[in-house]
Amino acid sequence: MRSLLVLVLITAGSACAQDASLRLGGKDVPLAPEVQARLASLAREMFSRCGPNTLQHPGNFGLAALGTEKRWASVVGGSRLRIRFAEPFVSTSHLGGTLGVSEAVVGLGQQGLFVGPNFSRHGATLVEHLQCEYLPALELACLPALAPLLPASYRETCARLERDPQGRIVMPPPDIAPSCS
C-alpha cells in the first residue's frame, strides 16, 4: 500500500512538472530551474495573445498552412526553446478564436528572425502562430541568463533595447526593432 502511494505521488508530481529546454546549434543546453521558470513565464505571456494561426486562420498562411508539422519538426531539431507547461492556458487570437496551449516551441535565430517561428501544441493539435506578444518575445530572447549561450548578434541587439525602471524592455523604435514571427 505504501509503495502504491509513493508511486501515485511521483506520478502526480511529474504530471504537474513544468519543463523548459533550450537547443542551440543542434545541441541541448542545460538550464537552471529558475531560468526554466522565467522562460516558461515569458512564453506564457508571449503566447497569451497572438495574431493568425494555422488552425483558425489558414488563409493567412496560404499553402504553408499544410506544412505546419514539417516546420515544427525543423524548428524542434534546430535552435529553439521548448516549454511544456504545468498548467495549460488559453491563447487568444487578434483575429478571433482561442486555443489551448500545453506546449510551446519558439525558434531562435531561424530564417532571419530574432524570435520565431512560434508553435503551440495542446493534445494532438499542433499550430503555428504569427505575431505573438512582441515585448515578452524580446524579453525571452534577451534574458540575461541566455546571453552567454546565444550568438553575439543577440547580445548586440539586446544591448540596444531600452528598458523601463523595472528592467522590462520597452517598445523599440522601428529602426532597431528585431524581427519576430
Whether 177 is in a domain gets the answer no
Specify the higher pLDDT residue, 109 or 86.
Answer: 86
Whether 175 is in a domain gets the answer no
Specify the higher pLDDT residue, 2 or 20.
Answer: 20
The pLDDT, as a whole number, for residue 98 is: 97
The pLDDT, as a whole number, for residue 14 is: 37
Per-residue pLDDT, averaged over 145-173, amounts to: 92
Domain tally, the chain: 1
Q: How far apart are CA 157 and CA 178, in angstroms?
A: 7
pLDDT at 111 over 90: no
pLDDT at 8 over 90: no
DSSP 170: P
pLDDT at 165 over 90: yes
Among residues 89, 100, 85, the alpha carbon closest in space to that of 21 is found at 85
Per-residue pLDDT, averaged over 164-177, amounts to: 90
The pLDDT, as a whole number, for residue 180 is: 87
What are φ and ψ of residue 31, in 5° steps?
-125, 140
Beta-sheet pairing, 49-50 with 80-93: parallel
User: pLDDT-based confidence at 174, cuts 50/70/90?
Assistant: confident
Whether 155 is in a domain gets the answer yes
Range of the domain at 62: 17-160
Percent of the chain at pLDDT exceeding 90: 78
pLDDT at 76 over 60: yes
Percent of the chain at pLDDT exceeding 70: 91
Does residue 66 contact residue 46 with C-beta atoms inside 8 Å? no
User: pLDDT-based confidence at 9, cuts 50/70/90?
Assistant: very low
Per-residue pLDDT, averaged over 90-110, amounts to: 95
Specify which residues 103 forms β-bridges with: 84, 121
The pLDDT, as a whole number, for residue 35 is: 95
This prediction has a pTM of 0.87
The pLDDT, as a whole number, for residue 26 is: 84
The pLDDT, as a whole number, for residue 17 is: 55
- Residue 50: CB partners within 8 Å, gap ≥ 6? 91, 92, 93, 94, 118, 129, 130, 131, 132, 133
Whether 174 is in a domain gets the answer no
**C-alpha distance across the termini of the chain, in Å:** 52
